[in-house]
Structure 1
Amino acid sequence: MIHLQNLQKEYIVNKKSVPALKQIDLTIEKGQIFGIIGHSGAGKSTLIRCINLLEEPTQGSVIVDGVDLTRLSKKALQEERRHIGMIFQHFNLLSSATIFENIAFPLRLAKKDKGEIDRKVTELLELVGLTEHRNKYPAQLSGGQKQRVGIARALANDPKVLLCDEATSALDPMTTQSILKLLADINKKLGLTIVLITHEMQVIRDICDRVAVIDGGYIVEDGPVAEVFLSPQQPITKEFVAQVSDFEIPAELLASYGRMATDERANHRVVQVSFLGDTTFQPLMFEVLHSEDLTFNILHGTISRMKDTPYGRLVIELQGDKAVLDRSVELFRERGLDVEVML
């Protein structure tokens, strides 16, 4: 659906070239909610604005639904942009126009007739839950309601892609959740491809299918959210995951096992077992432990969700013969569980 190939962007500052994006290669599939996360200044806003060519790349290709936007004339690019909606952190609404007129604005630019405009705006107001606010002005709405207007306006021309530029950064946590739920519902109902940028891992965990981590203008990590969240590879990714981690093994627990005598440790294992998807609710560990001559003790654990996917982690102490301990760890892995031997 969206292919970014060797994308690079440089700015000229005081007659010197300053790189903002470096050798970006990304593929975003149709119907995905794709997140791009990074700190301020990492290049994420520049990247998302290159997708609709609000920022013109210095080098590389931007292919959206089979069309290379970088090769189009200004007129052809303007037409293709009608298929790419965008919402912004600070809403960018027309303060002197009613909610109805704000949503109707792109339809009027597209020279749609009055009947079609009335029908489409009414439909969008219902979709975003603002039917009773159609004749109000932006100043009369809350931040969350303003963002719903921005979403409705972005959907007016039936886009194939919706770009979200820090769409929830100016909102409180409860309102953020309502906007994320709305975006997820729109994604399912309309089959819309959504690309969002954020500096909050909670947003990525709640709504995205895949995530790319950008740092210093480079994509340093890219993959399914569950995979990146449970097994982050880069230091910056680990930093973002730590923002929302609901699983932290108490240091005193590890220290107590670290003080064990060497011969005592031989018959002990402390392992962390991670579950993902359907395995979260299956008795896989029970099957292994029940079949082996082991005693075990659950030391720490949690179950949570990433978007629609359940996941869980347990830290357990296993005691028994060394060979049985080693065999049990392998049996866990054979059943699709991710196992880390901690001690």
Structure 2
Amino acid sequence: MRDANPPCAFVSFTVEGHFFIIPDHNEGGTTVIILQNLRKDYIVDKKSITALKKIDLTIERGEIFGIIGHSGAGKSTLIRCINLLEKPTSGSVIVNGQDLTQLTSSELQTARREIGMIFQHFNLLSSATIYENIAFPLRLTKRSKSDVDKKVRELLDLVGLTDHAKKYPAQLSGGQKQRVGIARALANDPKVLLCDEATSALDPMTTQSILKLLGDINKKLHLTIVLITHEMHVIREICDRVGVIDDGEIVELGPVADVFLNPKQRITEEFVEQVSDFDFPLELLEQYRVMPESERNRHQVVQVSFLGDTTFQPVMFQVLQSLPVQFNILHGTINRIKDTPFGRLVLEITGEPADARDAVQQLRARGLQVEVLL
């Protein structure tokens, strides 16, 4: 007979120099969140306003999934539907194998212990110390005083606030307050962590440190993180996949690298432009357009995009060896999307038109994306 309460597996890890042993959430199936035909309507001045329309979405165990959209697009409503802080008008919300919309109030309260949440404005108890803020959700589960103390001190270590346990929220910086929020959200060892604009109230340097902390926790705990933001640099820095939400609908969805390098929707292009460090001056193309046609035919201008391992491979050198053409780099950059390197170059290919076309085909055959600009 199968044990009704099988022993829990544990994983040990180090975050920011501290050693921890915690329950391993990387067991079971791979899909942890399923949203099916999700819809949310509000009644405002006796009129029905639709905030979410037919959302179908799956989020895999251990991934960091980002939802990006402008204010009013529905992203906050969507993330709050995942733990039923907002009850959907229709559709299913399946988290950790349970349809939360079908649970009783007491069952939902229990299920929410496996779903941590951090907020834009921290939502800390102002009259409680940092220690008490983190201890609060633990005490709701009636754990012993020694268990609470042990867990709180582990979490203080985890988020780098050991020396601030007796302080009050008003005595902390914004970044420190958010670290308290993260520690509190992790108190009951959740399998899912929801982040509601968790960095938008922070300065860039503090944002970077919070994103690094979330990334480290994700890697070590295999914790599924869902975050919403209106800042594309957050998506590029930490997320594995992204959904772009507009007017209550997911209009684009995919791995961050694919969406970033090949946006299909205009709204996605706008978000990508927020963080694009590739600003090719199109006026440089004018010098080719004014050339005599006989000379212009020997010059082709292309934009080449590299992703992953090809970023550092001598692809262009290999093409140059096989064809009688010359490459002139007009513009270029190399950067990263999370852990994946990528690069973009604008090249002038000089040679006979047929050889230039062959060069483009060879670059594409080697896994590069090539767009002919002229």
> How does the TM-score come out when normalised to structure 2?
0.91
Secondary structure of the structure 1 residue equivalent to 2:303:
strand
Shift of 1:262: 2.8
Shift of 1:158: 0.2
In the alignment, the residues of structure 1 paired with residue 338 and residue 161 of structure 2 have an alpha-carbon distance, to the nearest angstrom, of 25
Partner in structure 2 of residue 41 of structure 1: 72
In the alignment, the residues of structure 2 paired with residue 137 and residue 195 of structure 1 have an alpha-carbon distance, to the nearest angstrom, of 28
Is the aligned partner of 1:32 residue 2:63?
yes
Secondary structure of the structure 1 residue equivalent to 2:359:
helix
Partner in structure 1 of residue 18 of structure 2: none
Q: Which among 100, 120, 123 is matched to residue 151 of structure 2?
A: 120
Partner in structure 2 of residue 289 of structure 1: 320
Deviations 1:129-183 (A, max 9, x none): 0001111111111110000000000000000000000001111111111100010
Q: Which among 128, 145, 164 is matched to residue 97 of structure 1?
A: 128
Secondary structure of the structure 1 residue equivalent to 2:93:
strand
In the alignment, the residues of structure 1 paired with residue 101 and residue 305 of structure 2 have an alpha-carbon distance, to the nearest angstrom, of 44
How many pairs does the alignment contain?
343
Secondary structure of the structure 2 residue equivalent to 1:50:
helix
Partner in structure 1 of residue 164 of structure 2: 133
Deviations 1:162-215 (A, max 9, x none): 000000111111111110001001101111000000000010011101110001
Root-mean-square deviation (CA, aligned residues, Å) is 0.8
Partner in structure 1 of residue 81 of structure 2: 50
Q: For residue 160 of structure 1, what is the amino acid of its counterpart? A: K
The percent of aligned pairs where both chains have the same amino acid is 74
In the alignment, the residues of structure 1 paired with residue 233 and residue 290 of structure 2 have an alpha-carbon distance, to the nearest angstrom, of 36
Deviations 1:205-244 (A, max 9, x none): 1110111000100111001000000111100000000000
Secondary structure of the structure 2 residue equivalent to 1:249:
coil
Partner in structure 2 of residue 311 of structure 1: 342
Is the aligned partner of 1:3 residue 2:47?
no
1:192-341 counterparts in 2 under 5 A? 192-341=223-372
Partner in structure 1 of residue 197 of structure 2: 166
Q: For residue 260 of structure 1, what is the amino acid of its counterpart? A: M
In the alignment, the residues of structure 2 paired with residue 32 and residue 77 of structure 1 have an alpha-carbon distance, to the nearest angstrom, of 24
In the alignment, the residues of structure 2 paired with residue 261 and residue 37 of structure 1 have an alpha-carbon distance, to the nearest angstrom, of 47
> How does the TM-score come out when normalised to structure 1?
0.99
Deviations 1:12-65 (A, max 9, x none): 111111000001111111111110000000000000000000000001111112
Shift of 1:291: 1.5
Provide structure 2 residue ranges, at least 5 long, that are not aligned to the other structure. 1-31
In the alignment, the residues of structure 2 paired with residue 11 and residue 259 of structure 1 have an alpha-carbon distance, to the nearest angstrom, of 58
Secondary structure of the structure 2 residue equivalent to 1:287:
helix
Partner in structure 2 of residue 21 of structure 1: 52
Partner in structure 2 of residue 78 of structure 1: 109
Secondary structure of the structure 2 residue equivalent to 1:195:
strand
In the alignment, the residues of structure 2 paired with residue 295 and residue 328 of structure 1 have an alpha-carbon distance, to the nearest angstrom, of 10
Shift of 1:11: 0.1
Secondary structure of the structure 2 residue equivalent to 1:211:
strand
Q: For residue 165 of structure 2, what is the amino acid of its counterpart? A: R
Shift of 1:260: 2.6
Q: For residue 335 of structure 2, what is the amino acid of its counterpart? A: S
Secondary structure of the structure 2 residue equivalent to 1:40:
coil
Moved more, 208-217 or 263-272: 263-272
Partner in structure 1 of residue 29 of structure 2: none
In the alignment, the residues of structure 1 paired with residue 288 and residue 161 of structure 2 have an alpha-carbon distance, to the nearest angstrom, of 57
